[in-house]
Structure 1
Amino acid sequence: MRAALILQCGQLPVVAAHEPPPSGGVRVAVTAAPITPLDVLCASGTSYFGAPPVPYVPGVQGVGALPDGTPVWFATDAGMRPGDGSMAEYCHVPPADIVELPPDADPALVAALGLSAVAAWQSLTSCGDLRTGEQVLVLGGGGIVGQAAIQIARLLGARRVVAACRSSRARSRAAALGADAVVPLLDDDTVPDLAARLRPALDGPLDLVLDPLFGVPAAAALQVLRPGGRLVNLGGSAAPTAPFDSATLRSGSLRILGYTNNSLTKPERAETMRTIAAHAAAGRLTVSYEAVPLSDVSAAWQTQSTGSATSRLVLLLR
């Protein structure tokens, strides 16, 4: 079969013939596989999982079909544990990591949503406890998590959703997906400056912040949260630390919560993925993505690894 192969950690994948060693699990004919930051990190050999044995097929998630034709989404441990992932024509997957999809779900869209949409959904619900009628601020609203979060907050009954985005493309995207107001994030932002731009975009108390950025954006968001408000952090793409102080937290009795998909059980992940796929199939949930053929995996991987991707890159295997 054809597959994307990591021959050496830190190098671009190449397309080659590959026959995986015999293993258990269900044989899935792969249709689409996203190239995610986690894939790139694992293949670099610098993640906390350690350097993976090479050669291996990357891809921590994908969409395909079972032998009987049933469409499925699936997860793998590729790059985190020995074994192959989704970026091949076929993948052997444990049954517990397979989720049946609606027959009319778009494989490329579901692949693009994937675990990023799972993180957005769970951050807003089980972690952030979003309630009907609340106002939500989505930091990084142009990213995949942010795009999903804007729409999910709406689906869950938020009365108002505000997005903060860095590029003009991201701001236009957030507005098109339903954000009531969009605030620019600037490279030279200070906490007071950004907080001053956020305040007029809000309509009444801000109840919940979804934060995949941390750094100055998170600190500014804390300045405009209502007393007792919640901030859910699920990433640090802006900075690994944030400049906020004890007085800000104590004076507002604010709550800062951390989220990772690793906290989910496999049944919880599967149920969330089924919900996301159902909304996507019904036209209620989408994200921007670019479909690329397997033959272009090296160039697409380079685009993702340099941070120049403007949408989710999804490999098409069929």
Structure 2
Amino acid sequence: MNTMHSTTNTTMRALSQDVLGGPEVLKVMEVPRPQPRPNEILVRVRAAGLNPTDWKHRAHPAFLGAPPFVLGWDVSGVVEAVGIGVARFAPGDEVFGMLPYPFGHGSHAEYVAAPARVFARKPAGVDHVQSGALPLVSLTAWQALVETAHVQPGQRVLIHAAAGGVGHVAVQIAKARGAYVIGTASAGKHDFLRGLGADEVIDYRETDFAETVKDVDVVLDTIGGDHSVRSLRVLRPGGIVVSILPVGSSEFPEEAERLGVRAVRMLVDADHTGLEAIAELVEEGRLRATIAGTFPLADAAEAHALGETGRTTGKLVLTM
């Protein structure tokens, strides 16, 4: 038996917290191991990505309210057991997925039980760290660009914070759809973005995108605030800004109406169909997560602190 795992079949190690606060509130604890209910699978977690939503929920009441809770939505691992009625998977299958957002959290643990339909088969040819980094960011980008904005070949797509978790995946998805991609990032990340296929990069510290970019069909806004409203002004008539920040000022929809463009706010949603499309892109070599660092569960506080600097390129991943 792997010595990293709990010694009994009824408990597991999980990253929990009793209070809201800084990274220091995170603790590795022994907790009951979940059992798969009908239509659920129990997955032994091998890797689980970290996302900005993890540190937001760790520190603020947000959607989940008060702890105790185990955070984490990304997961890659191996099916340990299946509940009644699960036809898609069997024990031993390698899977990846995003737990239902926001209330399905709990992947920063040795095991997680969740609906079978939020998982897909892990892409062939990549390790669990890679597939554990992808689900939340790639589903966010896929749902924004493909399902909401319907990006078409030749369209001009502007991606804010293009070197971040969602951003660097969105660049690759937009390129895979045949778009002309413009990304904003600090100067040190421009070569990285060109390597992912970005056609144009803007140093947001030196240049105001709203002054220099125009005739854009789709903007992916990963920042919110006044970025959302200012992004509307670079669109061509009928263009769309998709903001992945679900709340904000009423100025965003009002300004869109005035300009004859569209403003949409969205939250990512668990979906195996999108995951299967993402796995296909991975297997074709057209999508890869850049890993900014991997951390064992015991060092999760360090990973949170690093993520909160907002300066990492790509994704941080916890390994079990």
TM-score range, shorter chain: 0.7 to 0.9
**Aligned equivalent of 1:299:** 302
Q: 1:259 aligns with which of 266, 269, 273?
A: 266
Spell out the pairing of 1:7-46 with structure 2 (5 A cutoff).
Answer: 7-11=17-21, 12-20=25-33, 24=37, 25-44=40-59, 46=61
For the pair 1:75 / 2:98, whether they are aligned, the reply is yes
Mapped to 1, the partners of 2:63 and 2:218 lie a distance apart of: 30
Instruction: Give 1:244 shift.
Output: 7.0
**Structure with greater helix percent:** 1
SS at match of 2:213: helix
Instruction: Give 1:115 shift.
Output: 1.3
For the pair 1:235 / 2:245, whether they are aligned, the reply is yes
For the pair 1:312 / 2:315, whether they are aligned, the reply is yes
* Counterparts in 2 of 1:241 and 1:186: CA distance versus 1, 3 Å: farther
Mapped to 2, the partners of 1:281 and 1:34 lie a distance apart of: 19
* Counterparts in 2 of 1:227 and 1:93: CA distance versus 1, 3 Å: closer
Q: 1:161 aligns with which of 181, 197, 214?
A: 181
Mapped to 2, the partners of 1:44 and 1:96 lie a distance apart of: 30
**Aligned equivalent of 1:104:** 125
For the pair 1:62 / 2:81, whether they are aligned, the reply is no
Instruction: Give 1:240 shift.
Output: 4.4
TM-score by length of 2: 0.80
* Runs of 5+ unmatched residues, structure 1: 200-204
Mapped to 1, the partners of 2:200 and 2:101 lie a distance apart of: 39
SS at match of 2:272: helix
Cα RMSD of the aligned pairs, angstroms, is 2.9
* Counterparts in 2 of 1:207 and 1:20: CA distance versus 1, 3 Å: same
TM-score by length of 1: 0.81
* Counterparts in 2 of 1:139 and 1:306: CA distance versus 1, 3 Å: closer
Question: How big is each residue's C-alpha offset from its partner over 1:172-200, in whole Å with a ceiling of 9 and x where there is no partner?
Answer: 3222211111011128x7xxx4422325x
For the pair 1:124 / 2:128, whether they are aligned, the reply is no
Identity %: 29
Mapped to 2, the partners of 1:4 and 1:306 lie a distance apart of: 24
SS at match of 2:157: strand
Instruction: Give 1:245 shift.
Output: 9.8
Q: Aligned pair count?
A: 294
Mapped to 1, the partners of 2:263 and 2:155 lie a distance apart of: 17
Conserved in 2, the CA contact under 8 Å of 1:4 and 1:58?
no
